[in-house]
Amino acid sequence: MLVVIGVLLYAAVPSNPQEVASSVNFGDEKITAVIWSKRLSACQFHPEKSGKSGAKLLANWLDWLKKETLILY
């Protein structure tokens, strides 16, 4: 947990730093934005509200899910 100007900010801190797929600078702190580990991915923001970059992220996730589904079945 980071405290920034009286506001609580919670950020994921994976035990394996290699699971951090993306990070962002927030004030003086570098926080996790996206984690990716085997078949798990998660983000700490709303990609649907992030314009073209968010749309690309969602498209990549959907492509990844399609490939994973083919592997599972």
Residue 27 confidence class, pLDDT cut points 50, 70, 90 = confident
Mean pLDDT of 27-41: 83
pLDDT exceeds cutoff 60 at 3: no
Residue 70 confidence class, pLDDT cut points 50, 70, 90 = low
Residue 31 confidence class, pLDDT cut points 50, 70, 90 = confident
pTM passes above 0.85: no
pLDDT exceeds cutoff 60 at 44: yes
Sign of CA dihedral 6, 17, 60, 40: negative
Q: Are 12 and 33 in contact (CB under 8 A)?
A: no
